[in-house]
């Protein structure tokens, strides 16, 4: 079954949106197989966002993502990577459709509430940055 990583960013935690965001994925039928709250170190943030190194927004991105607690989760389900990205909406929150997480809760690209892995390789890499294999649980949801 496909797995992907989500991060509820510091502004999502600050605004009390953790429950609402997690509920959307649960309601859709996706399953959390790992979930934790932490404050990212600069080293972890730099590794997570390594692909953006050198871009004009990189320094601000690392500073912001390390500025307070985040919630990281591993979401499992058929087609989970694409499903989560569809539910998040466009990266630039100003262009995100209403009904999506960013479209309902955010206005700015730099404060777009949530991160989700953008493909299978990225998902595997990002999950391994935040979770040890034994922290990912194998269980069935009641149907
Ligand atoms: P995310 O999905 O976490 O992946 C990288 C993040 O960089 C992205 O969400 C945005 O929050 C941020 N980002 C991307 N482009 C810009 C930009 N042009 N200006 C500021 N932040 C950006």
Does the annotation count 115 as an active-site position? yes
* d(C-alpha 20, C-alpha 1), whole Å: 24
CATH of the domain at 127: 3.30.70.141
Residue 139 Cα to ligand 1 middle (Å): 34
Q: What is the pLDDT of residue 128?
A: 98
Pairing verdict, β 31-38 and 3-8: unpaired
**Looking at ligand 1, which residue's alpha carbon is closest to its atom 21?**
110
Answer whether residue 63 is part of any domain: yes
Residue 51 Cα to ligand 1 middle (Å): 11
Q: Would the annotation count 15 as a binding residue? A: no
| pLDDT over 80 (residue 143) | no
Residue 58 Cα to ligand 1 middle (Å): 8
Answer whether residue 31 is part of any domain: yes
Q: Would the annotation count 91 as a binding residue? A: yes
Q: What is the C-alpha radius of gyration for the chain, rounded to an integer number of angstroms?
A: 14
How many domains does the structure of the chain reveal?
1
Answer whether residue 136 is part of any domain: no
Answer whether residue 58 is part of any domain: yes
User: The domain containing residue 67 runs over which residues?
Assistant: 3-131
| 130 contacts 136 by C-beta, under 8 angstroms | no
Q: What is the pLDDT of residues 59-105, one digit of tens each?
A: 999 999 999 999 999 999 999 999 999 999 999 999 999 999 999 99
Question: Which of 48, 52, 64, 115 is flagged as catalytic?
Answer: 115
């Amino acid at each position: 079954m496909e797995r992907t990583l989500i991060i509820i960013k510091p502004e999502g935690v600050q605004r009390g949106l953790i429950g609402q965001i997690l509920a959307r994925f649960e309601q859709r039928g996706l399953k959390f197989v790992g979930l934790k709250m932490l404050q990212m170190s600069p080293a972890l943030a730099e590794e997570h966002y390594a692909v953006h190194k050198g871009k004009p927004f990189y320094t601000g991105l690392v500073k912001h993502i390390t500025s307070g607690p985040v919630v990281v989760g591993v979401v499992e389900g058929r087609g989970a990577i694409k499903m989560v990205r569809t539910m998040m909406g466009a990266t630039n929150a100003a262009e995100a459709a209403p009904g999506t997480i960013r479209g309902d809760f955010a206005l700015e690209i730099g404060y777009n509430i949530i991160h989700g892995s953008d493909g299978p390789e990225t998902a595997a890499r990002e999950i391994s940055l935040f979770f040890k294999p034994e922290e990912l649980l194998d269980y069935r949801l009641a149907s």
